[in-house]
């Protein structure tokens, strides 16, 4: 049995709701001047929506000016990403941290590397994600208005109960299904074998011998960072970290996973960081969370809303194999 999956390009997915404006657009804040340049050029062509996107040279000039500005930051802020302030959690958060640590989602997501809870400095977190969706950070900012205690802050950063965007499903044939959601966090999770007594509400043709489940859903979505070479790389929770920094929070509780060598980084980091780990871990001044608020390198774009689509397909082959006895 084989499963294939595909994703649409995610522009404006959220983990809250699928409501959009009447024009089907949303606002994104992009960091210019960061590699790869091809991503920015590709986005500009998409936004043209069939019209001529204008001279590519103008787009490259804009990107180059931001890249030169990063060169300036390398001179005046060299080492800014090093020795980020990490503090012990507020004592009242201890019980909440133990509750998260005992949750199955945490145990599955953080079962490989040394992990701890701490309060991390937000502004100097290294970011590998080149944009955030401002419509979503605005919704999170509204939620932050109710964060008036250490306990509420912890639950905002490391939630166990959260409302997810609804998922729609459709059968496309005998062996193909599509599932879609407005959330950019929606993804294929895994294929698992289940025992018949693990399922219900199914009327089978006859006795069930085994069940293969192809599961699509959401990640644990804890605010988490990767600690390596004295730096903290923001791994998950970019929108919440942005909303917190915008609201004036300097530190926030997070899960810290520590890596000590490249092989460990490969099992923890995201695609963009793994594509150029030296840039994020060794550059004098890599992109930081605070850069999203710097007008010299920040550009707000109005981009089309889209859905994240997961396509699942399977193949069945039935055959018989003669028994044989090995000598011994």
Q: What is the structure's pLDDT at 48?
A: 61
**d(Cα 164, Cα 218) in Å, to the nearest integer?**
8
Listed residue (10, 31, 26, 58) closest to 296, CA to CA: 31
The total number of structural domains that make up the chain: 1
User: Is residue 107 included in any domain, yes or no?
Assistant: yes
User: Is residue 318 included in any domain, yes or no?
Assistant: no
> Taking the mean position of all CA atoms in its chain, how far away is CA 119?
20
pLDDT along the chain (328 residues), means of 10: 33 39 76 84 72 74 93 95 94 95 88 93 95 93 93 94 85 92 86 90 87 87 92 95 96 96 91 91 95 95 86 89 64
**d(Cα 193, Cα 210) in Å, to the nearest integer?**
7
User: Is residue 153 included in any domain, yes or no?
Assistant: yes
Q: What is the structure's pLDDT at 326?
A: 59
**What is the CA angle 93-97-103, rounded to 5?**
150
User: Is residue 205 included in any domain, yes or no?
Assistant: no
Query: Containing domain of residue 143, as a range?
Result: 82-163+220-290
- For residues 35 and 203, the answer to whether their CB atoms sit within 8 Å is no
User: Is residue 67 included in any domain, yes or no?
Assistant: no
* Residue 223 neighbours by CB distance under 10 Å: 24
User: Is residue 159 included in any domain, yes or no?
Assistant: yes
User: Is residue 102 included in any domain, yes or no?
Assistant: yes
| DSSP-derived pairing of the beta strands 231-236 and 126-127 | parallel
Q: What is the structure's pLDDT at 127?
A: 96
Q: CATH number, domain at 277?
A: 3.90.1530.10
| DSSP-derived pairing of the beta strands 211-217 and 126-127 | unpaired
User: Is residue 242 included in any domain, yes or no?
Assistant: yes
pTM of the shown model: 0.82
**d(Cα 297, Cα 288) in Å, to the nearest integer?**
11
């Amino acid at each position: 049995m084989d499963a294939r999956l595909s994703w649409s390009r995610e522009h404006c997915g959220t983990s809250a709701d699928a409501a959009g404006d009447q024009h089907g657009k949303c606002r994104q804040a992009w960091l210019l001047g960061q590699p790869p340049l091809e991503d920015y050029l590709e986005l500009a062509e998409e936004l043209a929506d069939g019209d001529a996107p204008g001279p590519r040279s103008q787009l490259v000039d804009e990107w180059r000016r931001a890249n030169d500005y990063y060169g300036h930051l390398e001179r005046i802020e060299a080492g800014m990403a090093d020795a980020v302030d990490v503090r012990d959690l507020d004592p009242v958060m201890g019980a909440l941290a133990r509750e998260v640590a005992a949750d199955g989602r945490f145990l599955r997501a953080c079962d490989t590397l040394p992990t701890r809870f701490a309060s991390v400095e937000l502004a100097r977190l290294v970011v590998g994600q080149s944009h955030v969706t401002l419509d979503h950070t605005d919704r999170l900012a509204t939620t932050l208005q109710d964060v008036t205690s250490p306990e509420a802050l912890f639950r905002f950063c490391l939630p166990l109960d959260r409302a997810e965007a609804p998922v729609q499903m459709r059968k496309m044939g005998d062996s193909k299904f599509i599932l879609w959601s407005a959330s950019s966090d929606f993804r294929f999770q895994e294929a698992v074998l289940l025992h018949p007594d693990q399922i219900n509400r199914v009327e089978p043709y006859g006795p069930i011998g085994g069940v293969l489940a192809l599961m699509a859903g959401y990640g644990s979505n804890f605010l988490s960072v990767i600690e390596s070479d004295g730096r903290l790389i923001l791994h998950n929770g970019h929108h919440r970290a942005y909303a917190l920094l915008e609201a004036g929070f300097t530190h926030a509780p997070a899960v810290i996973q520590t890596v000590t060598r490249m092989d460990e980084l490969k099992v923890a980091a995201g695609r963009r960081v793994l594509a150029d780990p030296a840039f994020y871990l060794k550059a004098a001044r890599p992109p930081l969370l605070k850069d999203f608020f710097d007008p010299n390198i920040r550009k707000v774009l109005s981009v089309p809303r889209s859905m994240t689509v997961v396509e699942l397909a399977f193949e069945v082959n039935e055959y018989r194999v003669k028994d044989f006895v090995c000598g011994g």
